[in-house]
């Protein structure tokens, strides 16, 4: 596979920033502060939130990015989850969070729809297999079991990244679940049922949850699997007409090594992020088949059944593993 080649990435969920420093006396390039929950709309969590923290991360270009983490209780044990709190209307201008509000509102609404579907149709004994940040968020919002529950230390290249994600994720997992899931994501979709078997529960049904934001984890997946991912990404302005924008994306998706397969990811009012595949074989991978790439619509699965997909591009998709 080709090595991972990326244009500068600005996504709402920042997963691969070398933005902090080690836990010695060096200054850290991120800060953490407590948040007044009353200034935000209700997250509608299934489990009680004890505290909300705001991480401000300074990137290499000195741009500051923020992330919110909820600390919550389940059976008197503390857990953590990245969340998308929406400022109350009276606090929006004071917080200078217009763009963040729109991004968080979009993600908050999509997760609420998914959570309602899960709570209505899934049993307590069912298990959801997904990336760790999705797993934590789904557990907070529904109380259902989702794995892997924490990030893997092996997914980060240096101490700077490890400090941040240890704090965000509430520690690192000592299990091998994330590496197994990552390996299955880059493998063939046709092999997914057998590949994921070590992660299944026998007590209920098993589901795979995918988010368009999972592409923010591609450097982590690359480190966990030891393979580069044949994906490229570019920002496109939304200032032009929709048809002109789609035409530009399609042309870019076919340029050079591009296979023509692409997916779009909304960023804000001014930009949309496009991803393209540069290796035809990767179109049959589990990752490319379950995310809303243009070639994914052509896929038919015998072992996976789509049971939920959010609107506007399939930001969230839930598949049941067919027994």
Q: What is the pLDDT of residues 80-92, one digit of tens each?
A: 999 999 998 765 5
CA angle 129, 134, 140 (to 5 degrees): 105
Low-confidence ranges of the chain (pLDDT < 50): 1-27, 95
The tokens of 180 are what? 């197994």
CA distance linking residue 320 with residue 308, whole number of Å:
9
Task: Write down the pTM of the prediction.
Answer: 0.88
pLDDT at 25: 37
The tokens of 87 are what? 């400022």
pLDDT at 104: 85
pLDDT at 62: 72
pLDDT at 240: 67
Q: Roughly how many angstroms between the first and final C-alpha of the chain, as a whole number?
A: 32
pLDDT at 61: 67
pLDDT at 28: 58
CA distance linking residue 217 with residue 170, whole number of Å:
18
pLDDT at 102: 77
pLDDT at 2: 36
């Amino acid at each position: 596979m080709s090595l991972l080649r990326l244009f500068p990435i600005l996504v709402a969920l920042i997963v691969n920033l070398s933005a902090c420093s080690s836990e010695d006396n060096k200054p850290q390039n991120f800060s953490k502060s407590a948040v007044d929950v009353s200034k935000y709309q209700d997250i509608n969590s299934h489990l009680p939130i004890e505290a909300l923290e705001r991480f401000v991360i300074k990137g290499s270009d000195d741009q500051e990015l923020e992330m919110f983490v909820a600390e919550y209780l389940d059976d008197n044990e503390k857990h953590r989850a990245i969340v998308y709190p929406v400022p109350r209307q009276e606090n929006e201008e004071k917080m200078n969070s217009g763009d963040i509000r729109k991004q968080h509102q979009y993600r908050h609404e999509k997760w609420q729809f998914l959570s309602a579907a899960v709570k209505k149709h899934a049993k307590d004994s069912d298990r959801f297999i997904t990336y760790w940040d999705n797993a934590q968020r789904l557990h907070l919002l529904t109380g259902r079991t989702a794995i892997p529950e924490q990030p893997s230390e092996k997914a980060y290249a240096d101490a700077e990244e490890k400090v941040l994600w240890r704090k965000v994720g509430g520690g690192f997992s000592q299990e091998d679940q994330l590496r197994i899931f990552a390996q299955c994501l880059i493998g063939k979709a046709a092999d997914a049922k057998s590949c994921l078997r070590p992660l299944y529960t026998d007590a209920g049904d098993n589901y795979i949850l995918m988010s368009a934001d999972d592409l923010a984890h591609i450097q982590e997946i690359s480190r966990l699997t030891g393979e580069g991912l044949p994906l490229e990404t570019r920002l496109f302005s939304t200032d032009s007409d929709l048809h002109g924008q789609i035409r530009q994306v399609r042309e870019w998706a076919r340029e050079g090594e591009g296979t023509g397969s692409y997916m779009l990811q909304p960023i804000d009012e001014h930009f949309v992020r496009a991803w393209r595949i540069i290796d035809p074989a990767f179109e049959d991978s589990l990752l490319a088949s379950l995310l809303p790439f243009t070639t994914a619509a052509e896929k038919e699965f015998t072992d996976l059944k789509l049971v939920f997909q959010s609107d506007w591009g399939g930001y969230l998709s839930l598949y049941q593993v067919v027994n």
